[in-house]
Structure 1
Amino acid sequence: MNNHLLRETAAVALSLLDLTDLTDDCTDQRIEVLCARAQTPFGNSAAICIWPRFVAHARGILGAGHPVRIATVVNFPGGDMEIADVAAETREAIADGADEIDLVIPYHALIAGNEKAVTDMVKAVRAECVAPVILKTILETGELKEPALIRRASELAIDAGADFIKTSTGKVAVNATLEAADIMLRTIRERGRNVGFKAAGGIGSVSDAALYLRLAETIMAPDWPMPSTFRFGASRVLDDILAVLNGGPSSSASAGY
């Protein structure tokens, strides 16, 4: 990739980035750093993605209507909570100022053959996410493994009202892959609804990001990736984006959360 195209890709990736801190030892101080890092000299990331307990603190820093959106996770990371508890977690996060909810579907139940568990969970959380709140559903594709199951999870989430389908929590052995992304993007296209895609976990460089962008442009349309339809969930990739935008090369090393 030539330098001009690399910098162009870096700028796009920045605008699509959900800058993430879902580490177990996260603190208020790290949220303050994350909010600052999301606002760069080259533009803002699309969102920050944080634990629910930090949403109110982040909203206090960013203020109402800030262009950097606040995303948080529910039913995270295992996907095994009761629907009522996840709905309550969602309500509290939205009350605290969350703009976007990233919901882990009950993927263990789906692996066991219980499709209704996925539909019921997504519909219940969808009911809490009144516009303009966005609902992203995390499929945990690395655990689903089978292409047919990844496709079915995508279909169920889309049909139950998800605004985005997302690959991964970043908390398992296999996170975002181009193979899973291909299946998910093709399912979005086939379903015919205005649904976005988010790749999360394992994307550590602009070069990595370019592969996902190229795939989405091939399957959907050249101008399809934008913040309303495409996101990257990552923590370390911002360093590579800024290095490229400052005139340096893209790292070839991938890094996850």
Structure 2
Amino acid sequence: MKRKMVSLMDLTTLDKEGDTEDKVKQLVEKGSIANALQTEVAAVCVYPEFVPAAKKQIAALGCQMRVATVVNFPSGDGEVEQIKLDTKGALDAGADEIDLVICYKDYLQSAKSSRSCQLVHGVKEVIQQHGRGCLKVILETGELKSSDLIQKSAEDALQHGADFLKTSTGKTPAGASLEAARVMLQVIKAAGEAGSTKVCGLKISGGVRTFEDALGYIRLVEEVLPDSADFLRPETFRFGVSGLLANLLREDAKVESGSAY
């Protein structure tokens, strides 16, 4: 199960003050098959300016992992046209996946957000014009809090082109929660039951640090989705994490040394 979890990770560093090219290269190395669990992560997630360094290190190590980056992050307050330009720049730099923060404050103020819908649609259009890329839409569920707002923002994102729904930026006091993930999974399930030909994925981000944390979300998917085995693959399910890999490796080392797990 630990190897499964590693294969579903977007190994992340999003420290605006502390990130460097060397730190990003080390992140790629940690996420490579050379780690103690001999399992490569699905992607590394870095700020746009570090996409080239990540791609270069991935190529040097012969890895298959993808590179994700963030736009309109973390505030969600950017203008649509600027975010589209930022997206194009990130894709031109080599990014494979775009994690877009919606205007979640609009939902808090008026329970809807035409600007968020325009953002998702516009960024998806840029990705399509580029010819490749995956769009993960960050709802910031810890701020939305209400199940109704989470459901509304998830439905809007899915309707306007999201390939993944993502819980959080990891930059607010409250990150992912099982309750929010359940609502998002129900929206994904309902879209499938309504005849959607595309299965939208789910990315859990913010506060997933231990084996037990991650296992709780996997069990939730198994509970909510009838086709959970197909869903629990990197193509449709991710953990956006920074510390989980280190904790899994530490726990694995304890087992090997004979310590209690």
- Counterpart for residue 38 of structure 1: 31
Task: Tell me whether 1:29 sits opposite 2:36 in the alignment.
Answer: no
CA separation in 2, counterparts of 1:242 and 1:97? 29
Equivalences for residues 69-148 of structure 1 within 5 A: 69-113=66-110, 114-130=112-128, 131-148=131-148
Percentage of identical aligned residues:
39
Q: What's the offset of the Cα at 1:181?
A: 0.4
Aligned equivalent of 1:15: 7
Partner of 2:156: 156
1:218 pairs with 2:223: yes
Helix, strand or coil for the counterpart of 1:232?
strand
Choose from 45, 48, 51 the match for 1:49: 45
- Cα distance between partner residues in 1 of 2:209 and 2:179: 17
Q: Extract unaligned runs of 5+ from structure 2.
A: 257-261
What is the TM-score of this pair, normalised by structure 2? Answer: 0.88
Report the aligned-residue RMSD.
1.6
Greater relative CO (CA pairs within 8 A, separation 6+)? 1
Match of 1:208 among 184, 196, 213: 213
How many pairs align? 241
- Normalised to the residue count of structure 1, the TM-score between the two structures is 0.90
TM-superposed deviation, 1:56:
1.3
CA contact (8 A) 1:135 1:164 kept: yes
2:66–2:96 CA contact under 8 A, matched in 1:
yes
1:245 Cα shift?
Answer: 4.3
Alpha-carbon distance, 1:40 to partner: 3.3
Contact 1:176/1:202, CA 8 A, preserved across alignment: yes
Contact kept in structure 2, 1:78 and 1:104, CA below 8 Å: yes
1:240: how far off?
2.0
Q: Contact 1:110–1:117 at 8 Å: present in 2 too?
A: no
1:34 alignment partner, SS class: helix
Q: Which secondary structure does the structure 2 equivalent of 1:31 belong to?
A: helix
Unaligned runs of 5+ in 1: 1-8, 250-257
- Alpha-carbon distance change, 85 to 167 in structure 1, aligned in 2, over 3 angstroms: same
Deviation track 1:3-48 (CA, whole Å, cap 9, x = no partner) reads xxxxxx2111100000000012211110010011110341100000
